[in-house]
Amino acid sequence: MYWINLIAIPFVLLLAWAKGRGLFRWAVMAYIFGFWSFVPLFMVRVKPIQIYEIPKPIKQFVTTHVFKRELKGIMYPKDLQK
């Protein structure tokens, strides 16, 4: 392998991350092929960002936990105005 392949790895990984691809495979490909890995990387589609929806029971648990923790800090009515 050539040292130029090692220089290509961060650039290929940055583009692979931006396109939503697996970083390990593209790192190996950049190590083997160097800057030639940009050619297939530019041909692949960008994977859409998947927005993860937090389940409702988990949201309720977190909000009640935070609310109870805030209530423990209140000792006087003046504390409510903070």
Mind listing the pLDDT tens digit for each residue in 37-58?
Answer: 999 999 988 888 777 888 999 9
Please identify which residue in the block is written with the tokens 């697996």. 22
Name the more confident of 72 and 80: 72
Please identify which residue in the block is written with the tokens 């977190």. 62
On average, the pLDDT of the chain sits at 88
How far apart CA 51 and CA 48 sit, in angstroms, is 9
Q: Give the residue extent of every domain in the chain.
A: 3-81
